[in-house]
Structure 1
Amino acid sequence: MQPSPMPVEPPPSEPGSRTVLTTVAALGVSQVIAFGTSFYLLTVLGEPIGAQMGWPQSWVVGGFTIGVLAAAGVARAAGRFVAQGYGREILTLSALCFCGGLTTIGLSNDYPIYVIGWLLLGIGMGGGLYDITFGTIGRSFGAKSRTAIALVALIGGFSSAIFWPLTGLLLAEFGWRNTCLAYAVLNLIVSAPLYWWFAPRPHGTHHSCKSRGDHQLSLTSADRPAYFALAFLVVAEMAINVCVSVYLLRMLTERGAQPAEALALSALVGPAQIAMRLIELAFGNRLHPRHSMAIGVAFVALALVMLAFGNIWLGLPLLLYGGGKGVISIARGTLPLALFGPVRSPVLMGNISSISLVAQAGAPVLLALVIDRHGLDTGLWIITALAVISCGVSISLVLGARKLAEPV
């Protein structure tokens, strides 16, 4: 079913500080739950599920890959509905999809049912993670969105730190099935009501608005360089992120770290990410989001170059990598808004998110094939080259992209 024609862009809401803080708290908590019960679910539960069900890990992780592809399939439509002012409804529906998917996985006794659970989770991911959340904020708050987006990203950054140990604790006490069912209830009684009651809604949308055709949302010749540069950066950085996440411990051990040391070093990424989000929150308004994106991309590229050469204290590139990730996670919400405005940015980011999710599903598989044939060093140099190219694209965006909306 296709969404109705796009509304004429109304003036954004004028949120008071209380409204912003309430929105940030509700969406931040909900994003912690969303990531913790979807993207991070198999980090702890993957092996126990495979062991009990007698499935190889490729089958277990294959469910997640199918879910990510399902997310890619719905992201574009979700972005269009957010642009119409239906962000609250999309986010609430995503929490219900998380609930249904986790319930299905928790009750599954054969592989097809397990896959159906991941399909439901994937639909939830396509309509309930950062891109849709940031689009909902931008659609409602307009030029006042940057601080709210930064705060939601800051809170969301604690998801792995909270849910990895929590999932381990629940697994030890109740098993993986009951853990999934508990997380289903959490989405139903916490996330869904928070979205419905506190997700912002723009003034003047829905039936009260005049409509405009899709042709009025199409990219002009002046828009295209910025749009394609942004698309490349988001897709490349997300592909790099998932590849590093999968192979980081192995990269560190092949650079001389012992397994326990590698695990301890990898823990530096999270605090660095949060620290840079705090810095962005404190000082980011002095920079256009294009500059913030360029800084984050440069940090990631420098970190991977240092890791590829390896003759340094390995904690340094991990701190840089985490810092770069922290800035990029905010810039991917604020930069589209600054370039394309609050109505077009959810639509365009929905399109980009679809491609990005496919890249996240496929990049680790392709990298695994390279590593199997040519070794880990070759794989590391490939993602390092991609990061360096991204750095050049981000510089071109700073130097040449036309500013299409006021900075946020």
Structure 2
Amino acid sequence: ETELDWTRTELTAAITLAILISALFAPLAGRIIDFGKGAMMMALSCFLGAICLIWLSLVTTRIEFYLIWAILGAVMAGSLYEPCFALITRAKQGQAKQAIIFVSLVAGFASTICYPAIHSLSESFGWRTAVQVFAAVIIFVAAPLMWMGASIVERNGRTFPVLNNQPVDRQRSFLNTPAFWFLAIAFLLLAIVHGVTIHHMFPLLADRGIGADSAVIAASFIGPMQVAGRLAMMAAERRISVNAVTASCFLFVALAIVFLIGTAEISTLLVGFIVLFGSAHGVVSIIRPVVARNILGGKNFGAKFGAMALFYLAGSASAPYLGSLIWNFGGYDRLLMVLIFLTVIGMALYLVAYRLSQATNN
């Protein structure tokens, strides 16, 4: 921001662009996984991402900057959580939950390593060199590991055949089922609630009367609470159904926002907000593919989850702007009430999708 003399809005707009393009490419990534080419896609996406980072370290114009982030959006669709979890779920079917939890627990420490590393490298050598170092790590460490790990999962997995010999309308027949739309919109609403809360975290807390130092400490505990939520899910998975866990996540998010509203009067409620909000999001991020398979079925799962990811990522990308729009019309008090409303509607839509799937199965 300082070196290039660009506004923060211009910089963050590039990230929003990347998320939107990632959403558009998510269905294609799902189809590639269905064809058994997930390992190749994920490894090549990693490598292309590293090339983009090298290019980013040399950027001098806004056009270049936005073009790089646009390509990175497509790369994200082929290499991050969404394709990884779709690959695992397609290969392991009903046994995917444990593997997804394990991957997310390990990946959950990425921010613990990356934030200090990028800060230290940037302070010592400049941001351009720091980006180049990360590109080298991706090329020589991440991409090879991605290829080996994803190849093993695909090779040893039990998969449904791809129904490619059927007409396109039959391959996409899941789009005609109400359960898909209820489920996709439910998670889209949850993505909006999460995105608005995260992107407006500091002004929200300031509006509640929370000091800057306390706000930073509180925000730093959301990541650990995500890991804690995943560990709690591992401990309780034999006693609680996936449906109960998912419904609880919606409920926890709604209660977390209620606690956030209450921090204006009782500051200690901030602890409850962090615990409930962080743990719920940590579980949601890993349970979505499991829920999608349970409700929509395993055939052509990559395409189904890719289509769902389009909705989820679109919600995440639009959240900062939607939050600002609502804030302009009523401040943060009204925004928080809207977030509670969206969460409750999302939970209702999820429960309808679950009931429809149960009726279909029966």
State the shift of 1:306 in Å. 2.0
1:99 paired to 2:44: no
Residue 234 of structure 2 is matched in structure 1 by 281
Runs (5+) with no aligned partner, structure 2: none
Structure 2 vs 1, CA of residues 238 and 283 (structure 1 numbering), >3 Å: closer, same or farther?
same
Q: Work out the CA distance in 2 between the residues paired with 1:241 and 1:204.
A: 33
Q: Work out the CA distance in 1 between the residues paired with 2:83 and 2:327.
A: 34
Residue 71 of structure 1 is matched in structure 2 by 22
Q: Work out the CA distance in 2 between the residues paired with 1:387 and 1:372.
A: 21
Paired letter, 2:50? C
What is the RMSD of the two structures over their aligned residues, measured on CA atoms? 2.5
Paired letter, 2:352? S
Counterpart pick for 1:346 among 285, 290, 302: 302
Runs (5+) with no aligned partner, structure 1: 1-49
Paired letter, 1:250? P
Q: How far does the alpha carbon of each residue in 1:1-33 deviate from its partner, in whole angstroms, 9 at most, with x for none?
A: xxxxxxxxxxxxxxxxxxxxxxxxxxxxxxxxx
Q: Work out the CA distance in 1 between the residues paired with 2:174 and 2:66.
A: 41
1:182 paired to 2:133: yes
Q: Work out the CA distance in 1 between the residues paired with 2:12 and 2:317.
A: 10
> What are the equivalent positions in structure 2 for 1:53-72 lying under 5 Å apart?
53-72=4-23
Residue 224 of structure 2 is matched in structure 1 by 271
State the shift of 1:198 in Å. 1.7
1:325 paired to 2:284: no
Structure 2 vs 1, CA of residues 339 and 266 (structure 1 numbering), >3 Å: closer, same or farther?
same
TM-score, normalised by the number of residues in structure 2 = 0.90
Q: Work out the CA distance in 2 between the residues paired with 1:334 and 1:210.
A: 21
State the shift of 1:161 in Å. 2.3
Residue 108 of structure 1 is matched in structure 2 by 59
1:386 paired to 2:342: yes
Counterpart pick for 2:70 among 119, 122, 134: 119
State the shift of 1:240 in Å. 1.5
Paired letter, 1:141? K
1:217 paired to 2:168: no
Q: How far does the alpha carbon of each residue in 1:310-338 deviate from its partner, in whole angstroms, 9 at most, with x for none?
A: 33321111111011111111211211122
Structure 2 vs 1, CA of residues 299 and 204 (structure 1 numbering), >3 Å: closer, same or farther?
closer
The answer to whether the 8 A contact 2:42-2:78 is kept is: yes
Paired letter, 1:344? N
> What are the equivalent positions in structure 2 for 1:5-404 lying under 5 Å apart?
50-199=1-150, 200-202=153-155, 211-213=164-166, 214-219=168-173, 224-310=177-263, 311-312=265-266, 313=268, 314-402=270-358
State the shift of 1:342 in Å. 3.4
The answer to whether the 8 A contact 1:236-1:386 is kept is: yes
> How many residues in Structure 1 have an aligned counterpart in Structure 2?
355
Paired letter, 2:193? I
Q: Work out the CA distance in 1 between the residues paired with 2:158 and 2:259.
A: 49
Paired letter, 1:239? I
The answer to whether the 8 A contact 1:71-1:126 is kept is: yes
State the shift of 1:205 in Å. 9.9
State the shift of 1:245 in Å. 1.1
- Say which SS state the counterpart of residue 401 (structure 1) adopts: helix
Q: How far does the alpha carbon of each residue in 1:133-170 deviate from its partner, in whole angstroms, 9 at most, with x for none?
A: 01111121222211001111222222222222221111
State the shift of 1:400 in Å. 4.5
Structure 2 vs 1, CA of residues 291 and 205 (structure 1 numbering), >3 Å: closer, same or farther?
closer
- Say which SS state the counterpart of residue 107 (structure 1) adopts: coil
Structure 2 vs 1, CA of residues 87 and 288 (structure 1 numbering), >3 Å: closer, same or farther?
farther
Q: Work out the CA distance in 2 between the residues paired with 1:210 and 1:227.
A: 19
Structure 2 vs 1, CA of residues 59 and 220 (structure 1 numbering), >3 Å: closer, same or farther?
closer
